[in-house]
């Protein structure tokens, strides 16, 4: 069943307060199991639409605690996709005992990456009752560095991908068993799950009910329907058979921290390792950087420098490729970029008004028309068969416009 589809349930949908209280209780129980007798203090909630994340202190040690309901997004849980609150709790009691639970796989991926040595990742402190504890990584995230020093965009991206080079080698893919992948974070699979069939159309018709003005809702829905239809036609390109490598899968600016400053190696958090084409990581980072610009709307000079950095980064990636391979890589990047943008924007738009959004969530909802217009124009050019390099140039121009 699509995670976007509404589940018909005899009881009321879960409430944000009870869902959060349950997660906090589970965090405390997990701490008691892992560190008996240790004093625990829940300090600050980290807003998310996917899982429940809280910064905590255990016996004076700072940690992050992450809780996942059934491996689904919080938005899906709160919309009743998994049933009423009683059903969710019953299912959760079984889910946390499963060896393939989402956070079991995430912990295993972090340990695998620590064993590989590159990329550098955050440390796993413990896992119990379906709660994953990790050690905070000090230092600025790529999000802050891009806005602080936009002229260094290409250099920062290259530093990240230099650390991913070993992960992207064909022989490394064998280190992750198929069952260990986190397919829930696959851009293309998420897109197909959200917008498949009748349930996908129902989902689109309800978008923004609690987040948008009525006039904006109508325009956003119309634009999204057109974009999604084009992407469905192009989707096989993004999933075409080809050499799969191990990709980080959830490469976002806020997941890239520079503990030794911008000149040092980055440390990554929240992996979503997948067997996929190498273009996936570049596409995810591009998508989220563009959305950062759309929400933060920095000064015009900063926008120009970041967009130039995106262009220079793509050129650097394509330089060793043959012309045909470069066009294919760039087309894949554009398709996955658009899919990811549609995925996250619709998740924000469908979130209940009582669910706190991440810092960039509300500005994106407010600028949903502009973001959807950008996606509409880029997907129109792609769907018309325009040369990938020309579409890319147009996409960078659209990025400047949406950030303006």
In a domain, 281, yes or no: yes
Task: Quote the pLDDT of residue 235.
Answer: 74
Tell me: cis bond preceding 119? Omega within 30 of 0 counts: yes
Please indicate, yes or no, whether residues 357 and 399 belong to a single structural domain of this protein.
yes
- Strand duo 120-121 + 267-268: pairing: parallel
What residues make up the domain containing 363? 142-403
Q: Domain boundary at 105, 134, 163, which?
A: 134
Task: Quote the pLDDT of residue 237.
Answer: 63
In a domain, 390, yes or no: yes
- Strand duo 61-67 + 131-134: pairing: antiparallel
When divided into structural domains, the chain yields a total of: 2
Task: Quote the pLDDT of residue 57.
Answer: 97
Q: Domain boundary at 79, 111, 134, which?
A: 134
Task: Quote the pLDDT of residue 7.
Answer: 40
The HSE-up count of residue 78 (CA atoms within 13 Å, CB side) is 24
Q: Domain boundary at 134, 159, 185, which?
A: 134
Task: Quote the pLDDT of residue 4.
Answer: 39
Please indicate, yes or no, whether residues 111 and 195 belong to a single structural domain of this protein.
no
In a domain, 10, yes or no: no
- Model pTM score: 0.93
Q: Which residues of the chain have pLDDT under 50?
A: 1-9
Please indicate, yes or no, whether residues 74 and 154 belong to a single structural domain of this protein.
no
Instruction: Using CA atoms of 103, 108, 114, 116 in order, give the dihedral in degrees to the nearest 10.
Output: -140
Q: Which residue has the tokens 């899968």?
A: 249
């Amino acid at each position: 069943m699509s995670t976007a589809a509404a589940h018909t349930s005899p009881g009321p949908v879960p409430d944000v307060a009870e869902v959060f209280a349950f997660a906090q209780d589970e965090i405390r129980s997990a701490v008691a199991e892992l560190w008996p007798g240790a004093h625990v203090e829940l300090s600050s909630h980290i807003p998310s639409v996917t899982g429940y994340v809280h910064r905590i202190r255990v016996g004076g040690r700072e940690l992050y605690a992450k809780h996942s309901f059934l491996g689904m997004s919080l938005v899906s849980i709160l919309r009743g996709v998994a049933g009423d609150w009683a059903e969710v709790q019953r299912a959760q009691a079984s889910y946390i005992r499963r060896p393939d639970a989402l956070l079991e796989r995430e912990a295993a991926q972090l340990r695998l990456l620590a064993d590989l040595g590159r990329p550098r990742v955050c440390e796993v402190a413990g896992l119990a009752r379906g709660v994953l504890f990790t050690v905070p990584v000090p230092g600025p995230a790529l999000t802050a560095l891009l806005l602080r020093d936009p002229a260094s965009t290409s250099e920062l991206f290259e530093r990240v991908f230099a650390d991913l080079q070993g992960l992207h080698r064909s022989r490394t893919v064998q280190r992750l068993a198929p069952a260990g992948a986190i397919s829930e974070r696959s851009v293309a699979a998420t897109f197909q799950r959200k917008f498949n069939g009748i349930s996908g159309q129902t989902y689109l018709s309800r978008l923004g009910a609690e987040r948008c003005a009525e006039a904006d809702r109508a325009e956003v829905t119309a634009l999204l329907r057109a974009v999604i239809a084009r992407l469905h036609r192009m989707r096989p390109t993004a999933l075409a058979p080809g050499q799969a490598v191990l990709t980080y899968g959830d490469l976002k600016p806020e997941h890239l921290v520079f503990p030794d400053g911008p000149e040092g190696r980055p440390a990554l958090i929240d992996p979503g390792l997948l067997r996929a084409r190498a273009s996936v990581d570049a596409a995810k980072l591009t998508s989220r950087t563009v959305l950062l610009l759309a929400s933060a709307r920095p000064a015009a000079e900063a926008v120009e420098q970041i967009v130039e950095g995106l262009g220079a980064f793509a050129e650097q990636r394509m330089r060793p490729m043959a012309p045909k391979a470069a066009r294919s890589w760039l087309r894949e990047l554009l398709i996955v970029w658009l899919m990811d943008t549609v995925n996250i924007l619709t998740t924000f738009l469908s979130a209940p008004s009582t669910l706190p959004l991440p810092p960039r969530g509300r500005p994106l909802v407010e600028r949903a028309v502009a973001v959807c217009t950008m996606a509409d124009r880029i997907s129109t050019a792609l769907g018309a068969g325009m040369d990938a390099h020309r579409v890319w140039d147009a996409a960078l121009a659209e990025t400047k416009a949406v950030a303006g």
